[in-house]
Amino acid sequence: NLGKGVTSVGNGAQGAHQKPATAARMYDYYLGGIHNFPADQEAAKAMLERSPLIRTIARYNRAYLSRAVRYLTSIGVRQFLDLGSGIPTEGNVHEIAQADIPDARVVYVDIDPEAVSESLEMLAGNQYATAIRANVREPQAILDNPQVGKLIDFSQPVGLLMVAVLHFVEDNDEAWGIVRTLRSALAPGSHLVLAHTTVDELVFDPELLKRSQEIYRRQTSTPLTPRKRSDVVPFFDGFELVEPGITWLNQWRPGPDLVDEFKDNPQMSSFYVGVGRLA
């Protein structure tokens, strides 16, 4: 039992022999990974039927994560706490960070057992990075975790990555409170890297969105909660937004290599992103 809201899955239709779908393994499927099971594939396919852009959005989200991590290493941030890190894929945080800073510290945190075991396997022999299983909804336990304390020095700047994870926390006050708790443990010069789905300027028809949310609600233990911009802004309370502020996914410091299919309609990403600095 990893605490709040993660022990039960509300889909009685799952066969007893099948692992229920999880957000981590569905995301792995969107990205073309192999660490997913029939229930994940079924739920992910149902999502893709409703919103075929999800695959592209997932790829752009990874590209944003890379840009943000490279930005942080470029300004000297040497340690990263990646919450809701997911199943390893291309361009994992330690690969990006350690390419620039070979002894950069990275702790991956996820609630999904597959994500953690695959991460640990990938990190074998890497003394500067590890992965732990924990619930983002219990942020103090993450801060107090001895494995986190072993690698992360909270008296120095930390890159706090919360990329495509807070939309799995339903309640606004709880979600904002999670970031507040984490922020209070961070030293000046630390940064919050955020990506969050939204329903603003919806490109999906609202009925479609409702049905997509249904899939996560019924088939996983982590319902999907898109937030409007005005509910994304409070995550940055106490942080100073780094230029260009809160933007659509592909508009945050796009590199020359970003081929942006959403150039003319950036809201099609349905993701708000931003990086905030703790003064």
Among 43, 97, 123, 136, binds ligand SAM (CB under 6 A): 136
- Enumerate long-range contacts of 59-63, CB under 8 Å, 24 or more apart: 59/31, 60/249, 60/250, 60/262, 60/269, 60/271, 61/163, 61/164, 61/195, 61/249, 61/271, 62/31, 62/89, 62/90, 62/91, 63/91, 63/250, 63/258
Among 97, 115, 148, 192, binds ligand SAM (CB under 6 A): 115
Adjacent-strand bridge partners of 110? 133
Q: How far apart are CA 222 and CA 115, in angstroms?
A: 15
Piece of 39-47, 78-86, 176-184, 255-263 that binds ligand SAM (CB under 6 A):
78-86
Choice between 198 and 222, CB closer to ligand SAM = 222
Count of residues of this chain found to bind ligand SAM when the rule CB under 6 A is applied: 22
Q: How far apart are CA 241 and CA 128, in angstroms?
A: 29
80 binds ligand SAM (CB under 6 A): no
Q: How far apart are CA 215 and CA 95, in angstroms?
A: 33
CB proximity list for 145: less than 8 A, separation 6 or greater: 132, 134
- Minimum gap (Å) between residue 58 Cβ and ligand SAM: 7
Piece of 72-80, 157-165, 210-218, 265-273 that binds ligand SAM (CB under 6 A):
157-165
Among 21, 24, 97, 179, binds ligand SAM (CB under 6 A): 24
Interactions with ligand SAM, residue window 165-184 (CB under 6 A) = 165, 168
- Minimum gap (Å) between residue 156 Cβ and ligand SAM: 23
212 binds ligand SAM (CB under 6 A): no
242 binds ligand SAM (CB under 6 A): no
CB proximity list for 118: less than 8 A, separation 6 or greater: 35, 87, 88
- Residue ranges in contact with ligand SAM by CB under 6 A: 22-24, 27, 61-62, 65, 84-86, 110-112, 115, 135-137, 163-165, 168, 222
